[in-house]
Amino acid sequence: MKRTEDIDELKALARGLRTDILTMIHTAGTGHPGGSLSAVEILAALYFAKMDHSPTRKPEEVRDKFVLSKGHGAPALYAVLANCGYFPKEELARLRKFDSFLSGHPYAPSTPGVEITTGSLGQGLSQANGLALAAQLNGHDSYVYCLLGDGETQEGQVWEAAMTAAHYRLGKLIAFLDNNELQIDGWVKDVMNIEPIGKKWESFGWHVQEIDGHDFPQILAAIDKAKTVTDKPSLIWCHTVKGKGVSFMERLAKWHGTAPNADELKKALAEVNANG
């Protein structure tokens, strides 16, 4: 697997990931395109540039780990894992099939590259805490990354986990907030306002950075900066766009969990490939 921090290469990878996401969800006839598309740059920066990982490593080997707390964004994670060589890309066409290991949400026992089973929102950060605390106790020089949805942070367990991470000074835990401002029922601010985001996380003892979650230079720099903070966990607060890259999907809650039909797929892929 080739690792790169070249911005043009990362942008090209992101276009490929969006193509894979849209195609697999269309083929399945079900899935979550909006929140998968909003997380593409974050996942690409981690898996293709910053994370210490490899599909050839044994599970018990020391390496960085990733937890997709917003489990409905599984198509984005599957696209990344396939492109990293954890399993053949042909498997993406079997998303959500009965005989497939690519479930609607990440399932660790059967899916290569998936560390933690997620789907019930609010639980991923707690599990990431466990991985980070284990690495800390074992003296491992590795990082744990966790991707949260903004609507997900309406869950009380997230804040219990936030307190726990700060209490144990989990300096090698780096969380990303995919702040695309929409959830299945509409705008996050209308369903249950989570502002002020930065001040809340800081008050819980976290180091916070606020960035554009689609800008590769900002994402890469934020990860580097987070790694310099060793006495507390870090949150990288990413402003993103739900359905990013497809104009008729962007900023619309209806695309939270709706698969594109054939005509919509054709239009979406044309847009993605035109945005060089």
Cis ω on the peptide bond leading into residue 112 (within 30° of 0)? no
Burial of residue 121, with CB atoms counted within 10 A of its CB: 0-12 exposed, 13-18 middle, 19 or more buried: buried
Burial (Cβ within 10 Å: 0-12, 13-18, ≥19) of residue 252: middle
Q: What percent of the chain has pLDDT over 70?
A: 99
Supply the mean pLDDT for the chain: 97
Cα 275 from chain centroid (whole Å):
22
Q: Is the pLDDT of residue 1 over 70?
A: no
pLDDT category of residue 191 using cuts at 50, 70 and 90: very high
| Contact indicator for 185, 121 with CB cutoff of 8 Å | no
**What pLDDT does residue 6 have?**
97
Amino acid at position 32, single letter = H
Sorted by where each begins, the domain ranges of the chain are 7-274
The three-state secondary structure class of 132 is helix
Candidates 2.40.50.140, 3.40.50.970, 3.50.50.60, 1.10.1740.10; CATH matching 7-274: 3.40.50.970
pLDDT above 70: residue 182: yes
